Amino acid sequence: MKLENKPLIATIAFGFLMTLSSGFGQTFFISLFNPELRASFNLSHGEIGGLYFVGTLLSAITVIWLGKLIDHFDLRLYIGFVTVGLAIACITMSSVNSAAMLVLAFFLLRLFGQGLSGHTGITTASRVQAGFRGRCVSLVGLGHSAGEIILPISTVLLISAFGWRQTWAIYAAVILGFITLLAQLLLTQLNTSIHSTGNTISDSKSWDRSQVMRDKRFWKIAPAIFAPPIISTALFFHQQSLAASKGFTLSYWAAGIAAYSIAAVLTSLAVGILVDRFTGAKVVRFYLVPFITATLVAIFFQNQALPFIYYALIGATVGIGTPAVSALWLELYGSQHIGAIRALTHACMVFGSAVGPVVFGYLLDMEIHWNSLLLSSAIVMGLATLLLISTKLEWLESNASTTIQ
């Protein structure tokens, strides 16, 4: 990768900024406010999980349509819409005064943060030349890890100094006054010379979203791609309960998130190189193995190092998946409709992240033991991995006709 290429550097910086910004709508961040939200509105674990489910589900439906617009609109206009929407989401959360308004706040944060911000960053990076794509997506994906390091620390400090409502208002000002302007500045450095070129599949042969949805392979891949958001979001959302069941304080358990971020960074950088050399289709097949190991470790391993090992293994799956899955969609379906295809897959992942917290929340309210939840998660991901391994992951020259039924 030639880092002297200014448009390529700008693409990476822009994508990194967007994936970092997605942290404002990620579960790890929103869950930091759970104690205050539950106390303010007298909510149980299951009830707040249910509200989160509704807001996230609505965002998953909406992102299918808004996400595909990145294929058709000027990126400067599109990202302006995304960042302003994210600021409005933070303002809404700062002034929430009822359970209904909390659903609206969850919806806006999940849509513009976890949904469209990350979608924009990864989609922009995935359109670079095939020889650079894996590493570019890996570097852009580091924004997720940066957010996981920066946002919890800054949030704890801001809440202690100003309170939780004012913290959201401060973040809204940062988004409007810094992130929006910096994103527009970086976009002025981009051109089309590094985008949509060097792909092995021409735009004329690219699959559209309706073809993808009728592809049998897509639905065989889906369980492996969508199981991690369901499970990981539930684990993050209810981490306080999980930590207590394992005999740890929340502060000590959450310290393990640093290992998650480090592992995600290192594996993403390494796998980005492997994707450029061997393709995403070859790399992606076993990417759930670290996550499966994490759930089993949490059941059987009793040691002070448990939070760090557990989170590092989950982070490894995230690090592998970011470049490998992004490359996989381009290798299977081409680049012309990649925004629409990623919007579809992202919506499915967001839907999964909506289901996880509410299901786990109600199971916890029913006093189902965490070991049972973790073992079930391992079994589900193991079966999904076997299905993924059995699927033929290559481009079909007949423009989907051989697999569309």
Q: Is residue 396 part of a domain?
A: no
Which structure tokens are listed for 369? 């033991």
Output the domain CATH number for residue 85: 1.20.1250.20
Distance CA 361, CA 366 (A): 9
Say which residues have a Cβ less than 8 Å from residue 130's Cβ, sequence separation at least 6. Answer: 198, 199, 200, 276, 330
pTM attached to this predicted model: 0.76
Beta bridge partners of 404: 215
Q: Has residue 405 been placed in a domain?
A: no
46 in a domain, yes or no?
A: yes
Scanning 238-367, the segments in alpha helix (DSSP H) are: 239-245, 250-255, 257-278, 280-283, 289-300, 306-333, 338-365
What type of residue sits at position 94? S
DSSP state of 391: S
Q: Is 85 left (phi over 0), alpha (psi -120 to 50) or beta?
A: alpha
What's the pLDDT at 302? 86
Mean pLDDT in each 10-residue stretch from start to end of the chain (405 residues)?
67 93 90 87 82 87 88 88 96 92 95 92 80 80 85 90 95 96 88 43 68 90 90 87 90 86 88 86 92 96 92 93 86 82 82 80 88 95 94 63 40
- Check residue 163 and report its DSSP letter: -
Q: How many CB atoms lie within 10 A of CB 174?
A: 16
**Residue 53 corresponds to which tokens in the numbers above?**
């489910």
The pLDDT of residue 148 is 81
Q: Which amino acid is at 248?
A: F
HSE value, Cβ hemisphere, 13 Å, CA-based, for 134: 25
> How far is Cα 266 from Cα 19, in angstroms, rounded to an integer?
17
Residue 333, pLDDT score: 86
Which residues, listed in sequence order, are joined to residue 215 by a DSSP beta bridge?
Answer: 404
Residue 154 lies in a domain: yes
- Please provide the average confidence, as pLDDT, over all residues in the chain: 86
Buried-exposed string 245-265: b where 16+ CB fall within 10 A, e elsewhere: bbebeeeebbebbbbbbbbbb
State the total domains in the chain: 1
Residue 219 counted as domain residue: yes
Q: Strand, coil or helix: what is 128?
A: strand
State which amino acid sits at residue 50.
Answer: G
CB 141, CB 19: distance < 8 Å: yes
**Terminal CA-CA length for the chain:** 40
Q: Report how far apart, in Å, the C-alpha atoms of 375 and of each of 242, 369, 380 are.
A: 14, 10, 9
The number of C-alpha atoms within 13 Å of 125 and in the hemisphere containing its C-beta is 33
Give the pair of three-digit tokens for residue 282: 């070859």
**The predicted structure's pLDDT at residue 56:** 85
Whether residue 11 lies inside any domain: the answer is: yes
The structure tokens listed for 373 are: 């939840």
Q: How far apart are CA 311 and CA 327, in angstroms?
A: 25
The number of C-alpha atoms within 13 Å of 303 and in the hemisphere containing its C-beta is 8
pLDDT in tens, 152-189: 889 989 999 999 999 999 999 999 999 999 999 998 88
Write b or e for each residue in 345-381: b if 16 or more Cβ atoms lie within 10 A of its Cβ, otherwise e.
bbbbbbbbbbbbbbbbbbbbeeeeebeebbbebbebb
Question: Would residue 275 count as lying in a domain?
Answer: yes
User: What distance in Å separates the CA atoms of residue 379 and residue 371, rounded to the nearest whole number?
Assistant: 12
pLDDT at 278: 83
pLDDT at residue 18, as a whole number = 96
Range of the domain at 259: 6-389
Is 344 within a domain? yes
CA 249 to chain centre: 26
Residue 236: closest CA among 163, 176, 294 = 294
Q: Which helix (H) or strand (E) holds 191?
A: none
256 near 310, Cβ under 8 Å? yes
The CA distances from residue 148 to 7, 72, 110, 198, 224, in Å, are 27, 31, 16, 33, 23
Residues 6 or more apart in contact with residue 106 via CB below 8 angstroms: 30, 51, 52, 54, 55, 56, 59
